[in-house]
């Protein structure tokens, strides 16, 4: 078995933290669904987790909070198309 860190050793604590950042007080700091949410997540969580995992964690949290990966939530897709993206 590969050691994946705290999530394997402390699943209940990990779930509480994920909920805090996706839907709780942490989510209010990040303001999911508002432009720049992913970058705010990287800054906020970068205080607590290593640079090698923070972007993946924020991507997972973004999906949990908005239902889509960064850049793919409904409002983000419309914004990208208006700017000439996808």
**Model confidence pLDDT, tens digit, residues 50-82:** 999 999 999 999 999 999 999 886 666 545 455
Of the candidates 81, 70, 20, the one whose C-alpha atom is nearest the C-alpha of residue 48 is 20
Residue ranges per structural domain of the chain: 12-22+31-82
Contact yes or no for 21/48 (Cβ under 8 A): no
User: pLDDT of 1-53, one tens digit each?
Assistant: 344 566 678 899 999 999 999 999 999 999 999 999 999 999 999 999 999 99
Cα–Cα distances (Å) from 43 to 49, 82, 84, 85, in that order, read 10, 27, 27, 25
pTM for the structure as a whole: 0.77
- Work out the angle at residue 6's Cα, subtended by the Cα atoms of residues 39 and 69, and round it to the nearest 5 degrees: 35
């Amino acid at each position: 078995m590969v050691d994946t860190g705290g999530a394997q050793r402390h699943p209940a604590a990990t779930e509480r933290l994920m909920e805090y950042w996706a839907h709780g007080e942490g989510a209010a700091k990040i303001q999911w669904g508002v432009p720049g949410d992913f970058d705010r997540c990287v800054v906020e969580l970068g205080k607590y987790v290593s640079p090698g995992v923070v972007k993946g964690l924020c991507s997972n949290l973004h999906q949990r909070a908005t239902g889509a990966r960064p850049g793919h939530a409904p409002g983000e897709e419309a914004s990208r198309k208006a700017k000439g993206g996808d």
